[in-house]
Amino acid sequence: MKKTVKRAAVVYVLIAFFLVGVGILTAQFIMHGSDWATNKVNGHIYSNGTVVNAGTISDRNGRILAESKNNKRVFINTSATMRKAILHIVGDTSGVISTGTHNLYRSNLSGYNIMDGILNLKRNGTGSAIQLNIDCEANRIAYDALGNYNGTLIVCNYKTGELLCSVSKPAYDVNYVPRDLRTNPAYDGVFLDKSVSGQYTPGSIMKIITAASAIENIPDIDSRTFECTGEYQTGDGKVICNGVHGKINFRQALNQSCNCAFAQISIELGADKLLETAKSLGFNRHLKAKEVPLTMSRFHPSKETKTELGWAGIGQSTTYINPTHFLAIMNAIANGGTGYSPDRIATMGILGDVVGRMPETLVKMNPATAAKLKAMLRSNVVDKYGDWNFPGLEMCGKTGTAEIDGKKSTSVFAGFSSKDSLPLAVVCIAEEAGWGSGTAMKASNTVLQYFLKNYE
Amino acid sequence: MTKSKENKKQPEFRQITVMVLISIFQLICAAFVISREKEASENLIFIFFGYIAFEWLYMMFNVIITGKDYFELEAIAFFLSGIGLTVCATFSEAYAIKQLVAIGLGLIAYLAITLLIRDVRVAGMLRYPAAIGSLILLAVNIALAKVTNGALNWLDFGVFSIQPSELVKVAFVLVGAASLDKLLSNTSLTKYILFSLGCVGFLFLMRDFGTALIFFFTFILIAYMRSGDIKTIAIICVGAFIGAALIIAFKPYVANRFAAYRHIWENMDTIGYQQTRTLIYSSSGGLFGLGIGEGKLRNVFAASTDLVFGVICEEMGIATGIAVLIAFAFIGIFAVRAAKGSASSFYAIAAVAAAGMLIFQLSLNVFGITDLLPLTGVTLPFISRGGSSMICSWGLLAYIRAAGAPFRLPAPDVEIARRRRGGGAA
C-alpha cells in the first residue's frame, strides 16, 4: 500500500512532461505568432487571399499610397502611372509581389503584437500604419523616365540609408488588373521587384569592383599604362574592346571603360584576389537590405581560362549583380567606405520608432579605396560623360552596357551626387535599351534633378 | 489524517471566494455571449444563470454532505465546463442546451460513481460487469457504428448519439484498479491484460487510434502503480512499439493518418487544414483574445469539439488557454494528494489512472491540434462539445474525489469506517 501510494508521484512526472509541452507551445506562439497570425488564410486580415484590413501605407510626404476602408484596400487615386510606379514597393494585396510592403511587413501592417494579437485590426479595420522613405512623386518621374523600357531605378540617401525612390518595370495598375497579366509576355517579371529580386549582367559597372581590387592589390596601379589596340590577346583567346584607346593610364582606362586594360588587370590580379574583393563587398552572399531579402550577386571568375577571367573582370561572362546590393556599393564609395542598406521604412508605429530606425551597414569598403574610386568616378563624369549631362549635381558614376546573347544590350548606370547637400546615390537598369550612356544615365539624371529641385 | 488537520487550517471563506471568482468569470462570459445579439436571448440567460445557480446549490449541498472544505476538484471542473458551455452558446442555443444537459449527466455520473465505490468491495464486485459490459458495448459499436470523420466510434440513436469508447474509459479505470488491487495473482493479471487487449483491439478496428493510445497509456500507468516494475513496463512499451511498427508496415493507411505531422504548412489546405487554422487563429487572439464569438476558427470543421482549445485562444486569449491547461495540471496534483491520503490502494490506483488519462488525453488534443504531436482527433475533457466526452470527464474525476475525500452520509456506515482504518494501517 505504502509503495503504491509513493508511486502516485508518477503523475508529477506526467505533469512535468505536460508543462514542458505547454512551455514549448507558448514559446512557439512567441516566436512564430506574428507569422502565423498574418498568414494569408487569416480571414481577419485577408479575404480570398487578398489584404482587406491593414494599416495605412504612406510616402515620406504623408501621401497615402494604400489604406483600408470598409473592408477594402484602396490605393492612391492620382493616376494609373502613379499606381504602377508604386506597385512593387507597396506590393499587391495578394502578396504575389513577395517583397512588397504589403507582404513583407504584413505583421506590422496587421498591428500584431503578442499581447493583443490583431485585436486593433479587428476593432478598427486597420492595423499599424507604415510610413515609407519613398517619395511617390519621384517614383512616378522615374517610371516615366524609363520610358518604354523594363528595368529598375533606385535612389538612396547614402548618408542615412533612406531609400527615396524605387521603381520596377513592367508594372500594372492594381485598380485595373490586365486580364492577360499572367499570359502576355510583355508582363514577364511583373511580379518581381527587380530592384531587390533582380539579377543583371552588370556590364562595365563591374569595372568598379575590378578597380577596387586593383587599388588594394597592385601598389603601383596609378603609374601603370595600358596599350589598347581594340583587342587584348590573353594567351588562350582574346578580349575585344569597345574602341581603340591607345596608351592610357588606370584612371583613363575607367573613363574610357577600356576592356583591354581591365582584362589585363583582371588577369594580373588573378581569380582569387578578384573574388576576394568581390566577396568582401558582398558578392556570393545572401544579403538583406534591412528586412528585405536580396537576390544574390554572383561573381565566379574563371580559374581555367584567362579569356573568361578577363571577361569576368569587365562585367560580362557569368557575373550577375543585384541592383540594391550595387546601390549599397555606391553608398560605400560615396560615404567614405560605409555603405548603408537602402531602407524603405521611415516609421512603423512601433516602440523602436521612438529612437528612429538605425542605419545598417550592408557594404564595408576600405576608406582609402573608397576615396580613390570616388575620385575616379567623378573623373568619369568630368572627363568622359560631361557635367552637362548632370547639371548642378557634381555627379560621380559609371555607365555599363551589358551584352546578352540574342538581345539588345542592357543599359546600366550607377553613380551618386558628391554634393554634401544632396547625398544621393542611384542605380538604374534599362533592359534592351542599348548604351549605358543612353537611357539609364538620362533617367538617373531626370530623377536626381527632381530631388535637386525639391530637396536641396 | 493529516489531511483533515490541513483542511481545518484553511480559512472558512475560501470555498465562497473560489465560487465568487468562478461566478464572476462566468457572468462576464455570459454577458459577452448574450450581448452579441441585439435582443438578448431568454434561453441563453436561463442557461447561464441556471448553470451558475446550480454551481452554488451544488457547493452548498456539498458542504452539508461532507461538512468539509473540499471543493477544489469540482471548482476546476465547473470552471472548465463553464468555458465549454460558453463556447457552445456562441455557436447556437441548441448546442448550449445540449451541453448543459451533458454537464448535468456528467455530474450525475460523478456522484453515482463516487457513491458506488465508497465501498471498495462494491468496486471489486462491479469490475466483472464493467469489463464484460465494456467489451459488449465496443463490439456492438463495431457492428452498428457509422463512420464519422474517419473513425467508426459513434452509435447513432436518432435523437442522440453516443461514443461508447468514452464510457468505456470510465469502466477501464475501474476494472484496472479493482483487478490489480487484489494481491497480484496471475489469473487476475491475465484477465486484465486480456481485457485491455480487447479494448485496444476494438478501438484499432474502429480506427480510433487516439483513444486506443489513451487506453494503452492508462494500462501502463495502472501496471506501474501496481508493480512498480520499470523493466516490465519498458518491455511492454517496446513490444507495443514493435506492434505499432508492424501495423504501419502492413497497413500503410494507419501511417497516412499521421502524414501531416510536422508538415502542416506544406499541406495547409489538405491534411494540415485544421492544425494550421488553429495556429493562425490562436495567435491572432494574442494574450486576451478577440472577444467571445468574434473568432474565425469557429467556421472550421470540429471547432467546438476537437479544436475548441484554438477557439478559446482566439476568442478568450492565449492567457485563458494556458489557464485551462494549468487547471488540468492542478487536477493531477490533487490526484497525487488524494492518492497519498487514500484508504486503500484501489483508490490510489484509480485516482492516478484517472488523472493520468485526463492529462494524457488533454495532451493528445492540445498538442495534436498545434502540431507538437500527431493529430489523433480526441476531445478536450470537460470543454469539448458532446455528452459522452463530458460524462467520461466527470466520471474520471469521481475516482480522484473518491480517493481524496469520499462522500460520507450524515450517519456514517460503521462497516466502511472500519475498513478505512484497516486500509490506512496496512
- Domain range summary for chain B, segments of one domain joined by +: 119-425
CA neighbor of A357 nearest in space, from A154, A117, A66, A132: A132
**Weakest-pLDDT range from A92-96, A441-445, B159-163:** B159-163
CA–CA dist A375, A448 (Å, integer): 20
In A, residues 57-86, which contact B (CB 8 Å cutoff)?
none
- CA–chain centroid gap for A323, Å, is 5
Whether residue A362 is predicted with pLDDT greater than 80 in this model: the reply is yes
Highest mean pLDDT: which of A396-410, A427-441, B295-309?
B295-309
pTM, to two decimals: 0.83
Mean pLDDT of A23-48: 92
| A125 CA: distance to closest CA in chain B (Å) | 13
Distance from CA of A23 to the nearest CA of B (A): 10
Nearest CA in chain A to B352: A8
A39 touching B, CB under 8 A?
Answer: yes
Q: Which of A383, A266, A374, A369 is nearest to A315 (CA)?
A: A266
Give A8's contacts in chain B (Cβ within 8 Å): 225, 335-336, 339-340, 348, 351-352
Chain A interface, best mutation among B267, B280, B296, B314, by max A CB count within 10 A? B280
List the one residue out of A324, A355, A319 whose CA is nearest residue A339.
A324
Query: C-alpha distances in angstroms, A303 versus A241, A318, A412, B108, B420?
Result: 22, 13, 27, 84, 90
Q: Residues A244-272: pLDDT tens digits?
A: 999 999 999 999 999 999 999 999 999 99
**Per-residue confidence in pLDDT tens, chain B, 426 aa:** 344 444 444 445 577 888 899 999 999 999 999 988 888 888 899 999 999 999 999 888 877 776 665 678 889 999 999 999 999 999 999 999 999 999 999 999 999 998 888 888 888 889 899 999 999 989 888 887 665 555 566 766 666 678 889 999 999 999 998 887 665 566 777 888 899 999 999 888 888 889 999 999 999 999 888 888 888 888 888 988 888 888 888 877 778 778 889 999 999 999 999 999 999 999 999 999 999 999 999 999 999 999 999 999 999 999 999 999 999 999 999 999 999 888 888 999 999 999 999 999 999 999 999 999 999 889 999 999 999 999 999 999 999 998 887 665 444 444 554 454 444 433
Whose CA is closest to A441, among A384, A366, A360, A365?
A384
Contacts with A28 from chain B: Cβ below 8 Å: 370, 372
Grid cell in block for residue A134: 519613398
Q: Chain B closest CA to A30's CA: distance in Å?
A: 9
Domain that holds residue A26: 2-36
**Cβ–Cβ of B352/A12 closer than 8 Å?**
no
Q: Is residue A209 part of a domain?
A: yes
Q: Residue A443 pLDDT > 90, yes or no?
A: yes
* Residue A1 pLDDT grade (very low, low, confident, very high; cuts 50, 70, 90): low
Interchain pair A18, B336: CB under 8 A:
no
Q: Is the pLDDT of residue A82 over 70?
A: yes
Report strand pairing: A163-169 vs A151-157: antiparallel
Q: Is A11's CB within 8 Å of B352's CB? A: yes
Split into its structural domains, chain A has a count of 2
Answer yes or no: are the C-beta atoms of B306 and B377 closer than 8 Å: yes
Give CA separation, A328 vs A84, A167, A196, B79, in Å: 25, 16, 12, 59
Half-sphere exposure of B312 (CA within 13 A, CB side): 26
A175 domain-assigned: no
**E strand segments, A234-282:** 238-240, 246-249
What pLDDT sits at residue B320? 95
User: Which residues of B are less than 8 Å from A14 in CB distance?
Assistant: 332, 356, 359-360
Contact by Cβ (8 Å): B222, B353: yes
Please compute, for residue B112, the number of CA atoms within 13 A of its CA located in the half-sphere on the CB side: 11
- B338/chain A closest Cα distance in angstroms: 9
User: How much is the pLDDT for B149?
Assistant: 55
Mind telling me how many Å the CA of B405 is from chain A's nearest CA?
16
Is the pLDDT confidence value at A49 over 80? yes
Q: Where are the alpha helices (DSSP H) in A38-125?
A: 80-90, 101-104, 106-109, 119-124
Task: Evaluate whether residue A101 is within a structural domain.
Answer: no
Is residue A334 included in any domain, yes or no? Answer: yes
Q: Between chains, do A39 and B426 touch, taking CB under 8 Å as contact?
A: no
CATH code (residue A308): 3.40.710.10
Dist CA B211 CA B151 (whole Å): 10
Interface check for A36 against chain B (CB to CB < 8 A): the answer is: yes
Residue tagged 504575389 (cell numbers) = A96
Instruction: For B46, list phi and psi in degrees, rounded to 5.
Output: -65, -40
**SS3 of residue B285 by DSSP:** coil
- CB contact (8 A) between residue A1 and residue B423: yes
Place of cell 553608398: A331
Whether the ipTM is more than 0.85: the answer is yes
